[in-house]
Structure 1
Amino acid sequence: MIRPSFHFLPALCVIALSLTMAGCADQGGIKPQAQVRASASLDVGQAIRQAGPEAGWPQRAWWQVYRDRQLDGLVARAVAGNPSMAIAAARVRQAQGMAVTAHAGELPSAQLDASIGRKDWSDNVYYGAAFRDRLTWNNTATLSLSYNVDLWDRNKNTTERAEDELRAVAADGRAAQLELESNVVRAYVQLALQYGLLDNTEAMLREEQKIVDLAHRRFNGGIGTQLEITQAEGSLPETRRQIEALQENIALVRNQLAALLGQGPGAGDAITRPQLVLDAPIGLPSALPAELVGRRPDISAARWRVQAAGRGIAVAKAAFYPNINLMAGIGPAAAGGGLFSFLSAPNIQTSYGPAISLPIFEGGRLRGQLAATTAGYDLEVERYNQLLSQALKGIADQVVTLQSVLRQQRQASESIAAAQKSVDISTRAYQRGLTDYLNVLHAQTQWLRQQQIAQQLQAQRLAAYASLSAALGGGLESEPAPAGDGAP
């Protein structure tokens, strides 16, 4: 009669006892408190709803709408040469390495340990009875295999958390690129504005000088006064100061652009006067804000970090349960004999069986870790909610600015037309001898000031369009955000 073997009975009893105790693991009722806000639940506001005709998301090279080839080249050079892009790429590589490391925890591992040594045994009969006072070879070689039985998905969630963080870091890189592109465009718009203001200020200086010359001629002719000369000359120093300040601004903006390119200030010397044109209408995508999470890389990164934090909670909960490893080893071991005699078949030894560890008393350490991880999840959720709200605010702000600037530009055009009409009337009156040339010069000065206001409004419109394109994601599509709130 064959009697059944009960060699595995103790191991099975230990596993059953561990699973029973795992059911009693006390997590102290710790759970997340924050909830991910659905983008569709946010009221986009009247400004966004009435933004204008339906428009798609920004194109990838959204700055090409300005039709300035020099700007196109500057953006390309900035993306290729700015150190922030290299930093973002290094962070992605770092996250990739961490994801590979985390995934290794799900796979079996094998390790070979070997040692060859000579041993001089003790002369003590109780210590080295078999090899007393002898010099022998003491050699071993063991191939160890181990595999963690991931019953509670700890290793799986650790890997997925690392992969979610990798996606977040990749989205951070796209956000850094978008910020760099928008910074180049905004700096370039400022350069164009400074050039325009310089032209107007220099023209204003010429007109003011004409007024001074006329005041001198009137005084020399006996029909003017010294007060008129003093009044005419009073504005010249301030106008010259403004010209000097504008020239300084042009040099500083060139330096800023050179720094954005990742180069020295000398790279800005070759930047010529911008030739920006913008005739794009105001329009927003109809899918706003539903698709904003996937279009804005910073929001996408925040969403992936919420998902990663949720995985972290699952990992922290798994620490309350038994950790089971299946282990096996095989290899020769021998003391005595020749150098390679331990490799013979009789010296082969094996070992196998499960290794189980179960936390019984740890002074609240696991509950503390779970509480900290859960609070970290709440933190990431609220950061995401705040960023989503701020993103919609940024879009609404730029729409309001663009609409207001368009109305102001129409009013400024009317002011320019009225100033031009004043110039024409005063010029005809002077030609007919009905007034002096001083009134003509004052009318021309007023016309130049209105031109300056128009240029400032145009620069504001160009910058607001750039900010709106960036607020809509700048054509940088991110990986689709995970569904759900990421909570375990």
Structure 2
Amino acid sequence: MTPFLSPAPSRSRSISSLGALTLVASLALSACADFSGIQSQAPLRPASALALNDAAPLATSVWQRQDWWAQYGDAQLNTLMSQALSGNPSLQQARLRLERAQALAGGAGAALLPQVGAVADISRDLYTANGLYPKPLAGSVENMGTLQASASWELDFFGKNRAALDAAVGAVQAAAADAQAARLLLASQVLRTYFQWARLGQQLGVAQRTLHQREEILSLVQARLKAGLDTQLELRQSQGSLPEAHLQIEALQEQSGLARNALAALVGEPALATRLTVPVLPEAVSAETPAQVPVNLIGQRADVVAARWRVEAAARDTDVARAQFYPNINLKAYAGLSAFGFSNVLKSSSEQAGIAPAISLPIFEGGRLRANLKVKTADLDSAVTAYNGAVLDAVHDVADQLLVSESLLRQQAQQQAARKAAEDAYAIARQRYQAGLGTYLQVLSAESNVLNQRRSSVDLAARTVDTQVALWRALGGGLTPQTVAIAPRSTAEQGLIAVQSTLAGRGPSSRPDASAARPQ
């Protein structure tokens, strides 16, 4: 049996000429499917509109530590953080989303490579007597055998498949950044809950000292009553202050228990709550605080990085939609053995081979391609708008934390002076009362002021630590482009996005088209 398709060299040249002519005709006819007038309209926000400071980068010795919590030297906190970052369900979900995006990127990359397959087919067929086949096949039952290898390759002349792979890689990078953002959010939540629990524990200590102090005053009033120096009024006043102190203690114990349970839930081990001990509120970390929002750290925030990679992915999706207006060119080939009768399959005369270039082009799609490109362009504008919003939120977040940090320094200085004055006044009031020169109401008033100052001191100390944690998170949590980048192929060969270049005005200033949206 002769091969089904075995072109001679001259015929091969004619096929090549025909293919070239067809390609030229395709390029001419592709103008029938027009994408003119469909462009992205959303610009990336320049740094000049954000008032960012890129003159001098912030010292990174403290604010760019990923293990911020290690600076407090708390072994229990270190253990909790390790457990949280390995066992929290939300982090596991983020990792699974990343793995899914990586798998999709691998599938998109396969479109750039030739596809090779093989088939072995043995069948027994009854051929119709009234069909295409003449006698003796017509109306007969024959055995048919085929052993054949086939290959196909889509020639990506217009970059559709490469743009699809770039879009998938952008999605991988965004998922990687999202996973880091989830990690940072969880770490900051654990820290803030832990220090909130420490604050409640310290407030509970203040409340217990208050109870002890009031019990001492009650003993003093009872002694003065026996000596005829006080009346039942002072006694009832001192007795009435004890239930209030017990109430404060009970409320703080309730809040402390809730904080402990919340911490155990964040760690992912509810039974852990019974094994934890109330921590001591640490001193704030000594660190340089930037005077302005630093661009070099804003650009490393995981949420900003993720939003920027979504712009990249959306821009590549528009490239895919635009490439669909151009011809699609495929090369298909096969070679193998095929014969009637099983005994003839392996004979050399049963060879068959063929090559078939296939060219398809859009001429009239009823507006489907334009509609698809409009959708992808709208998605790109939405991604750019989301990115601009993420940058604004990041700047707002950092600016708020910087403002609070500066204010807390001034508040603590004033509060320390107020606390010293209140304690001095309380000491004088007690001395005057013991000497019979003052009233019990003066003692109670001075004591209330002291207790309020003690509570304010604890709250300010806790707010200072909490604000430092919030500022660390707002400045990126120590993440760097090398930390976030998970690039499965060379389209992200420039590494993760250098967002500061865009924020500093070195990025695109007009519409973020396919070239503008690529990371620098």
TM-score, length of structure 1 as denominator length: 0.90
2:358 aligns to what?
Answer: 355
Counterpart Cα distance in 2 of 1:22 and 1:183 = 56
Distance (Å, rounded) in 2 between the aligned partners of 1:287 and 1:487:
32
Cα distance, 1:17 vs structure 2: 0.7
Given that 1:189 and 1:459 are in contact with CA atoms closer than 8 Å, whether structure 2 keeps it comes out as yes
Cross-structure match for 1:415: 418
1:312 corresponding residue in structure 2: 317
**Cα distance, 1:54–1:410 mapped onto 2, change above 3 Å:** farther
Residue 387 (structure 1) shift: 0.9
**Separation in 1, partners of 2:212, 2:328:** 86
Instruction: Measure the CA separation in 2 of the matches of 1:388 and 1:143.
Output: 54
Letter aligned with residue 46 of structure 2: A
Residues 287, 139 of structure 1: alpha-carbon distance in 2 compared, 3 angstrom cutoff:
farther
Q: Percent identity?
A: 37
- 8 Å contact from structure 1 (residues 282, 399) kept in 2: no
Q: Aligned partners of 2:114 and 2:133: how far apart in 1?
A: 39
- What does residue 72 of structure 1 align with? 78
Q: Which residue is 1:86 aligned to?
A: 92
CA contact 2:328–2:359 (8 Å) conserved in 1: yes
Q: Report the AA paired with residue 327 of structure 1.
A: K
**1:12-91 alignment, distance < 5 Å:** 12-39=20-47, 41-44=49-52, 57-91=63-97
- Mapped contact 1:191–1:274 kept (Cα < 8 A): yes
**1:39 shift after superposition:** 3.8
SS at match of 2:345: helix
Contact 1:304 1:481 in 2 (8 A): yes
Matched residues in 1 for 2:311 and 2:178: separation?
Answer: 14
Give the equivalent residue in structure 2 for 1:487: 513
Greater mean alpha carbon deviation, residues 63-72 or residues 395-404: 63-72
Q: Does 1:120 align with 2:126?
A: yes
Residue pair 2:102, 2:172 contacting (<8 A) in 1 also: yes
Cα offset for 1:42?
1.5
Cα pair distance change 1:428/1:51, threshold 3 Å:
farther
3-state DSSP of counterpart to 1:31: coil
Counterpart in the other structure of 1:321: 326
The range that moved more, 166-175 or 76-85, is 76-85
Correspondent of 1:380 among 375, 383, 386 = 383
Give the C-alpha shift of residue 455 in structure 1.
0.4
Match of 1:164 among 154, 164, 170: 170
Separation in structure 2 between the aligned mates of residue 481 and residue 460 of structure 1, nearest angstrom: 34
In the TM superposition, residue 68 of structure 1 has moved relative to its aligned partner by: 2.1
1:371 maps onto 2:387 in alignment: no
Counterpart contact for 2:180–2:302, Cα < 8 Å: yes
Q: 1:132 to 1:163 in 2, by over 3 A?
A: closer
* CA drift at 1:181: 0.7
Flag the 1:293–1:26 CA change in 2: closer, same or farther, 3 A.
Answer: farther
Partner deviation per Cα, 1:133-169 (whole Å, 9 max, x = no partner) = 5432112233211111111100111111111111111
The 3-state SS of whatever aligns with 2:42 is coil
Is the 1:294–1:477 contact (alpha carbons within 8 Å) kept by the matching residues of 2?
Answer: no
Larger CA deviation: 35-44 vs 249-258: 35-44
Q: Partner letter of residue 343 of structure 2?
A: F
Q: CA deviation at 1:428?
A: 4.0
2:513 maps to a residue whose letter is A
C-alpha separation in 1, matches of 2:282 and 2:251: 26
Q: 2:467 aligns with which of 464, 467, 471?
A: 464
C-alpha distance 145-268 of structure 1, shift in aligned 2 (>3 A):
same
Q: Do the aligned residues in 1 keep the contact of 2:289 with 2:402 (CA within 8 Å)?
A: no
Q: CA deviation at 1:69?
A: 2.3
Q: Say if 1:218 and 1:224, in contact at 8 Å, map to a contact too.
A: yes
TM-score of the superposition, structure 2-length normalised? 0.85
Please list every run of 5 or more consecutive structure 1 residues that lacks an aligned counterpart in the other structure: none
Aligned to 1:175: 181
| CA deviation profile, 1:293-335 (whole Å, cap 9, x unmatched) | 5421111111111111110110000011111101111222222
Distance in 2, Cα, partners of 1:248 & 1:316: 58
- Tell whether the 8 Å contact from 1:55 to 1:285 is kept in structure 2 after alignment: no
CA distance in 1 between partners of 2:410 and 2:15 (Å): 89
Aligned to 2:106: 100
* Matching residue's letter, 1:324: I
* Aligned-partner Cα distance in 2 for 1:235–1:287: 48
Deviations 1:339-385 (A, max 9, x none): 23122122222221211111122211111111110011111111111
Q: Contact 2:101–2:168 (CA<8 Å) still a contact in 1?
A: yes
The 1:34–1:126 alpha-carbon spacing in structure 2 relative to 1, beyond 3 Å, is closer
Report the residue type matching 1:298 in the other structure: D
Deviations 1:24-68 (A, max 9, x none): 5311401001111234652149xx999999976421211223332
Determine whether 1:242 maps to 2:244: no
- With 223-232 and 398-407 compared, the bigger mean Cα shift is at 223-232
Matching residue's letter, 2:402: V
Shift of 1:223: 4.7
Gaps of 5+ in 2: 1-8, 486-495, 515-520
Q: In the alignment, what sits opposite 2:396? A: 393
Give, as a single letter, the amino acid of the residue that structure 1 aligns with 2:213. E
- For 1:54 and 1:433, the matched residues in 2 are separated by 60
Q: CA deviation at 1:403?
A: 1.3
Partner SS for 1:60: coil
8 A Cα contact 1:67 1:277, kept in partner: no
Q: Contact 1:211/1:438 (CA < 8 Å) preserved in 2?
A: no
- In structure 2, the partner of 1:298 is 303
Q: Is this contact kept in 1: 2:334–2:355, CA < 8 A?
A: yes
Say if 1:188 and 1:257, in contact at 8 Å, map to a contact too.
yes
Partners of 1:333 and 1:51 in 2: how far apart? 72
**Alignment partners' CA distance in 2, 1:225 and 1:359:** 102
Distance verdict in 2 for CA 1:435–1:106, change over 3 Å: same
Higher mean displacement: 233-242 or 381-390 = 233-242
Give 1:246 deviation, angstroms: 0.6
Q: In structure 2, the residue corresponding to 1:295 is in which secondary structure?
A: coil
Distance 1:101 1:228 in 2: 83
Q: Does the CA-based 8 Å contact 2:33-2:365 persist in structure 1?
A: no
- Judged with a 3 Å threshold, the aligned counterparts in structure 2 of structure 1 residues 205 and 457 are, in CA distance, closer, same or farther, namely same
Q: Alpha-carbon deviation of 1:72?
A: 1.8
Which of 453, 458, 464 does residue 455 from structure 1 map onto?
458
Mark the CA change 1:287 to 1:228 in structure 2 (over 3 Å): closer, same or farther.
closer
User: Against the structure 1 CA distance between its residues 19 and 287, is the aligned structure 2 distance closer, same or farther, given a 3 Å change threshold?
Assistant: farther
Looking at structure 2, the residues matched to 310 and 255 of structure 1 have their Cα atoms a distance apart, in angstroms, of: 45
Mapped partners of 1:477, 1:452: distance in 2: 39
